[in-house]
Structure 1
Amino acid sequence: MPVLTLTTDWNQQDYYTGAVKGKILTSCPDATVVDISHQIQPFNLSQAAFVLRNSCFHFPPGTVHLIGVQALPEPGKGFLIVRAGGHFFLSADNGIFGLLLHNEPEKVVMIPVNDPPDKSPLEQVLELTGYACELMKGTDPAILGEVVESFEKRTPMRATIDESVINGSVIYVDSYRNAITNISEELFRRVSKERPYEILVQSNYFKIKTVSKTYSDAPEGEMLALFNSLGLLEIAIHNGNASELLNLKVGSTVRVRFSDRKM
């Protein structure tokens, strides 16, 4: 049974989602349509990439992922079909694949659009569902457009190392208002070398001296840091709202400073 996922910034109350689902099921009545998220902040490609990257590859190989964030191409650009990791992704050529994929895609196909467009924004997205249905039927994406080597890629925010400091930042705030950073456990262990450390949140204003294993390691209402299920350093408050209370948002600074003496 073919599977198609939707990741958009349309919100559930908008009619766009219903129109797209109806079009998909009319063209591909056997398809299973799964909502990954319709709560992406408007035009927020980084948030969309984070949510999709950490969920899409749990779906069966051959799943088609339709991305409706910054859904319309800029003048002179088109839509892309990208095959990566045995999955297919459809999106405007807006840079999201540089944020979404760790490795180079297996194939990229450009679907051209008229410039200026002769269809409304919704009509263009509905037209894209036809390509999604072709992919679910097993059609080679190369038949659907032009294979290209060059396309827009945005660069994700990465943690950097400066002597004995890891300089990171918040890349996502989850529904519990925990702040997830771009500091990986692998990077932390590699730089640490079992040295003492302190985690500095919002410059030097808040300091954490240890990494917890669970949220309950800290007393209720207290700040803590842990490595989450993604292997990323997360700043939280036990049963509290870290984002609001610590004034954390995407882009906020989080650093890990190591001392030279051994633990």
Structure 2
Amino acid sequence: MHSLIALLTDFGLDDPYVGQMKAVLARECPDSTVTDLTHGVEPFNIAQGAFFLAASAPHFPEGAVLLAVVDPGVGSGRPILVARQDGRTIVAPDNGLAALALIPEHAELHHVNQLPEKASATFHGRDIFAPIAARIARGEALSGFCHPVSAEETVRPLWTEPLMGRGKCSARVLHVDRFGNCVLNLRAGALGPLHNLQISTPLGRELPAVDTYSDLPEGAPGLLEGSQGFFEIAVNLGSAARQLGLSMGDAVTLRWDA
């Protein structure tokens, strides 16, 4: 069975870890095509990895297996999640990494209950996750090594959703891209039309809501719905992170006329 397996990790490319995972996939499922989504997730940053996964999953074809490993709890008793949604399968530690990508009422959720007998306690990506992804890519039934779970039995961290109130939203920065755009945990379309928007940041600034970067004067900050499906704070031809003093994980408050 020919299948596509996409890899997302915080392993980087300096060490042999990604190559070893690919070696296992090639051995266990030689007919699969393996592609790299990214291995540049900041080490241990589950929220950033969750954003990358959520923004990218819809672009993969049905039948794809998305293997995501950002796993600070490797070797512990944390469960392994296998989730199916829109014809795609996500394999990830159940630590919130898949939470942004999944709509609980639309996803089939499972925990793995059959693990390899021999596995390194510190490299489950190679010894556990890759073999699981290969089994799925080969077309094995999940019932052979998983059991279904409810959404309440999976991890959904507080940063998965912003705190919404009347004329107010408390959000967090999930990611700062190489241009300095600050992606928030606020999905595009969530706010509707905005008037007299202002944003509280470490420096305190009032920002307009715009459609695209060029709607802002050069060097001016604003808020827009980005291409990755989430709102972002941006500066036209500049870095919002540097100008506003924002970093991943920072809280921001949006206020507007309700």
TM-score of Structure 1 vs Structure 2, range by shorter chain: 0.7 to 0.9
Aligned to 1:234: 232
Aligned: 1:182 with 2:182: no
Taking the aligned partners of 2:92 and 2:148, their CA distance within structure 1 comes to: 15
- Supply the AA of the counterpart residue of 1:14: D
Q: Cα offset for 1:94?
A: 2.5
Q: Cα offset for 1:228?
A: 1.6
Question: Deviations for 1:176-226, whole angstroms, at most 9, x for unmatched residues?
Answer: 110122344533226x4xxx4132241672112x32222122232222222
Aligned to 1:109: 111
Q: Cα offset for 1:12?
A: 1.0
The answer to whether the 8 A contact 2:116-2:128 is kept is: no
The answer to whether the 8 A contact 2:173-2:251 is kept is: yes
SS in 1 for 2:51: helix
TM-score by length of 1: 0.83
Taking the aligned partners of 1:148 and 1:160, their CA distance within structure 2 comes to: 26
The answer to whether the 8 A contact 1:11-1:39 is kept is: yes
Taking the aligned partners of 2:112 and 2:167, their CA distance within structure 1 comes to: 45
**5+ long unaligned stretches in structure 2:** none
1:209-248 matches, cutoff 5 A: 210-248=208-246
The answer to whether the 8 A contact 1:73-1:79 is kept is: no
Aligned to 1:20: 21
Aligned to 2:170: 167
The answer to whether the 8 A contact 1:81-1:90 is kept is: yes
SS in 1 for 2:49: helix
Aligned: 1:198 with 2:197: yes
Output the aligned Cα RMSD: 2.7
- Supply the AA of the counterpart residue of 1:131: I
Taking the aligned partners of 2:218 and 2:197, their CA distance within structure 1 comes to: 21
1:16-55 matches, cutoff 5 A: 16-55=17-56
Taking the aligned partners of 2:124 and 2:245, their CA distance within structure 1 comes to: 40
- Supply the AA of the counterpart residue of 1:12: L
Aligned: 1:207 with 2:210: no
Mean alpha-carbon deviation: is it higher for 15-24 or for 70-79?
70-79
Question: Deviations for 1:118-147, whole angstroms, at most 9, x for unmatched residues?
Answer: 634336633432222221121111112344
Q: What is the number of equivalent residue pairs in this alignment?
A: 254
Q: Indicate how the Cα distance of structure 1 residues 174 and 91 shifts in structure 2: closer, same or farther if over 3 A, else same.
A: same
- Supply the AA of the counterpart residue of 2:256: F
- Supply the AA of the counterpart residue of 1:155: P
Q: Indicate how the Cα distance of structure 1 residues 75 and 183 shifts in structure 2: closer, same or farther if over 3 A, else same.
A: closer
SS in 2 for 1:250: coil
Q: Indicate how the Cα distance of structure 1 residues 251 and 114 shifts in structure 2: closer, same or farther if over 3 A, else same.
A: same
- Supply the AA of the counterpart residue of 2:167: S
TM-score by length of 2: 0.85
The structure whose Rg is larger is: 1
Taking the aligned partners of 1:185 and 1:78, their CA distance within structure 2 comes to: 31
Q: Cα offset for 1:243?
A: 0.7
Question: Deviations for 1:138-166, whole angstroms, at most 9, x for unmatched residues?
Answer: 11111123444464312343333444333
